[in-house]
Amino acid sequence: MHRGMNALFPSFTLGRPAGRGQARRMTLQPSAPSPVIVRAGDSAEFLSLIPHLAGCHPRDSVVLVPFADKRTLGALRVDLPGADEPDPAELAASFIGLFTRVRHANRIAIVVYTEDGYRDERGRIARATFVEALVRCAEAADYAVVDALCVAADAWGSYLEPDGPYSGSPLDLIRPEDLDFGDGAPLADQHAGLELPPSDADERERVAQAIRALTLNPADPELPLAFEDAVTSDVELSTEALALLVLALERPAARDIALSQWCGDLAEGREVQQFNVSWLEGTASDFRGPLRLAGEGPRPDPVRLRRALEVTKKVASVAPPRLRTGVLASTAWLCWALGSSTHAAHYVRLAQEINSAHGLANIVATMIRHAHLPSWALDRAIPGPPPKNRDERRRWAKSRR
């Protein structure tokens, strides 16, 4: 079991399914351009892979791992519902409904991470009722269930092996730190990394003075060059560059150029600039390129987007409070584009605390609430040949339509 798996990491987080008015969050870790074959000999080794697949050490989470045959297509992390969830079957159906959007998947592994003890008061594995509902929904959707595992506060084990050790297996058998895929150490949990970088009063005052001396023109041909330098230069951003980005990300006409360009390249930024200037002048026709802010177009370079995220977080840390909403909303959008709705929701809240009517912040909030995903989150090539098993081949063929 769990042999020949393809661990694919560059990260993606999605908005997770909303159950009974709750805006649950989900993280999708999609496939990498160059698949790495990883062989996990047992369930402990498989669980050691999960933090690398999910990009974090999940906590109070359900992780759904899609497979195309024996190769993973990433990992989807969803906030674990409460133990008192009134309708676990309905919620399980919504989770699997989201899972079905992952193209080419024909198999699924389910992993629950809970702070509860391994056995509940009735002697069942923690959250067994919910996992049974997930398994039923997955099988009804024609997915083969590879395994269903529980990682509790005191032990781990398989829901599919009721005759396993009553107290579960020791947690120290799960050792993600022993695996090196060149992706760095996974974050502590899905909430880690939310902090803005430090800034001091002197730096903030210098940026404020530079802003007062600056006039932003969305039609300036130098503007896309400044956006490009921000994500490609190894040199620390100057005070003037930070000030320009504060103003640009506060102005929708300039912000759209930056976010679209960071998803693509300089040429794409210039195309968006040309359209936005025409729109401001009242002469624009329909835009023919992908609407990046809606999640359209080919998959962006995740390294480039992560660099853009670092930039906007730095800009947010030095921006005057009255000009911080746009950069916080842009940071939220970049998190969403990278697949992290948990982080996106955090920056949306910060932006809405300043301006509850901010357009982009409310758009990102709506996309998270309705589990709207970027098209590139699900547009991936299936690794390897089609499955050999007839039933799995049928599922594989369906996924390619």
Please list the pLDDT of the chain residue by residue as tens digits (401 residues): 222 222 222 333 333 334 444 455 556 654 443 444 556 668 999 999 898 888 788 999 999 999 988 888 888 888 898 887 778 899 999 899 989 988 889 999 999 999 999 999 999 999 999 999 999 999 999 999 999 999 999 999 999 987 778 899 999 999 988 877 665 555 576 677 788 999 999 999 999 999 999 999 999 999 999 999 999 998 899 999 999 999 999 999 999 999 999 999 999 999 999 998 888 888 877 788 888 999 999 889 989 999 999 999 999 999 999 999 999 999 999 999 988 888 999 999 999 999 999 999 999 999 988 878 888 876 555 555 555 554 555 554 555 44
**What gap in Å lies between CA 293 and CA 278, rounded to an integer?**
19
**What gap in Å lies between CA 314 and CA 53, rounded to an integer?**
27
Q: How far is CA 4 from CA 39, 40, 41, 143, 174, in A?
A: 5, 7, 9, 18, 19
pTM for this structure? 0.75
Tell the CATH superfamily of the 5-190+380-399 domain.
Answer: Cytidine Deaminase, domain 2 (3.40.140.10)
Q: What pLDDT, on the 0 to 100 scale, is given for residue 25?
A: 59
Residue with tokens 């409460």: 82
Please calculate the CA angle 301-247-311 and round it to the nearest 5 degrees: 35
**What gap in Å lies between CA 79 and CA 113, rounded to an integer?**
9
Structure tokens at 64: 């759904």
Q: What pLDDT, on the 0 to 100 scale, is given for residue 83?
A: 80
Q: What pLDDT, on the 0 to 100 scale, is given for residue 82?
A: 85
Q: Where are the alpha helices (DSSP H) in 11-124?
A: 43-54, 88-99
Q: What pLDDT, on the 0 to 100 scale, is given for residue 71?
A: 85
List the chain domain ranges: 5-190+380-399, 201-370
